[in-house]
Amino acid sequence: MDSIVGSLRLGWEALLLKDEAYERMRDAADPVVKGLILIVIVGLAVGLLAFVGDVMEWATTPNLAEIKDTVFAYLTQMPWWQEAARNTEFAQIFQGWYDFGWDIASALGTLSIGEAAAGIILIPLGLIFRWLLYGLVAYLFARWLGGTANLSETLGVLALAVAPQALNMLTVFPYVELGGLVAAWGLLCAYLGLKTAHNLSWYRALWATLLPFILAFVLLALVACLGSVILAVLVRGG
């Protein structure tokens, strides 16, 4: 119990960007365990409250299928439709694309209760996965830039950067969007954690914080470029 309370207290102080919290985590006997406890608690709390928020949002959202049918019924009464629908092939193709568009909107914009419930497990797992992946890459960059902390200490302080995820608990209120708040706050915490744990200067700590994201961005950009080249070849070939 003490360990849980201690981890939560560290998380709160880390959220307020107090250097001492990161120092205490770095010097703790078991920073990885402490960090993992914090992430699991935050993840479960966020998952549970987000589930409540999702259910509320579902209960306050009109049925999308009913909207789709209503729009289509009126579309077919519009003057342009009367002319275009003389061509039966056009009407069929239009109906196909119309259904496809609504299917995408439905997949992206609405959430089933089952998907929302899965979040209770998937959110903590996702946080742990991101923590381990980012922690490992940031550790490598920090050491490359002259950092002194070991992997356990790095993961410990970076677990504190998960503390801003607790703000996602606000999504218990439906329709609340946090935008980039959690990401920006998390980056600041990660910067402070790497700077403190590795005894880095401000600009080296900044690079150690951002390089994992830059690397991910470069990889994604390369994949996107490759994808667009393949698309271009296909378009030209067709």
State in angstroms the smallest separation of the CB of 1 from another protein.
Answer: 26
Binding to another protein (CB under 8 A) within 24-83 occurs at 56-63, 66-67, 70-71, 74, 77-80
Could you tell me which stretch among 44-52, 120-128, 138-146, 170-178 binds another protein (CB under 8 A)?
Answer: 170-178
Residues in the chain: 238
State in angstroms the smallest separation of the CB of 237 from another protein.
Answer: 13
State in angstroms the smallest separation of the CB of 34 from another protein.
Answer: 22
DSSP string across the chain = -HHHHHHHHHHHHHHTT-HHHHHHHHHSS-HHHHHHHHHHHHHHHHHHHHHHHHHHHHHTS--HHHHHHHHHHHHTTSHHHHHHTTSHHHHHHHHHHHHHHHHHHHHHH---HHHHHHHHHHHHHHHHHHHHHHHHHHHHHHHHTT----HHHHHHHHHHTTGGGGGGGGGGSTT---TTHHHHHHHHHHHHHHHHHHT--HHHHHHHHHHHHHHHHHHHHHHHHHHHHHHHHHHHH-
Residue carrying the six token digits 């995820």: 165
User: Is residue 167 part of the contact set for another protein (CB under 8 A)?
Assistant: yes
Binding to another protein (CB under 8 A) within 182-201 occurs at 184-185, 187-188, 192
Q: State the Cα torsion 184-186-189-195 to the nearest 10°.
A: -80
Site string for another protein, 79-108 (x = CB under 8 A): xx----------------------------
User: Is residue 232 part of the contact set for another protein (CB under 8 A)?
Assistant: yes
State in angstroms the smallest separation of the CB of 139 from another protein.
Answer: 22
User: Is residue 225 part of the contact set for another protein (CB under 8 A)?
Assistant: yes
Could you tell me which stretch among 10-18, 26-34, 41-49, 107-115 binds another protein (CB under 8 A)?
Answer: 10-18
> Rounded CA gap, 37 and 27, in Å?
17
Q: According to CB under 8 A, which one of 105, 176, 218, 220 is a site residue for another protein?
A: 176
Q: According to CB under 8 A, which one of 113, 178, 222, 223 is a site residue for another protein?
A: 178
User: Is residue 206 part of the contact set for another protein (CB under 8 A)?
Assistant: yes
Q: According to CB under 8 A, which one of 3, 175, 214, 220 is a site residue for another protein?
A: 175
Tokens of 210: 């951002």
Binding residues vs another protein (CB under 8 A): 16-19, 56-63, 66-67, 70-71, 74, 77-80, 167, 170, 173-181, 184-185, 187-188, 192, 202-203, 206, 225, 228-229, 232, 235
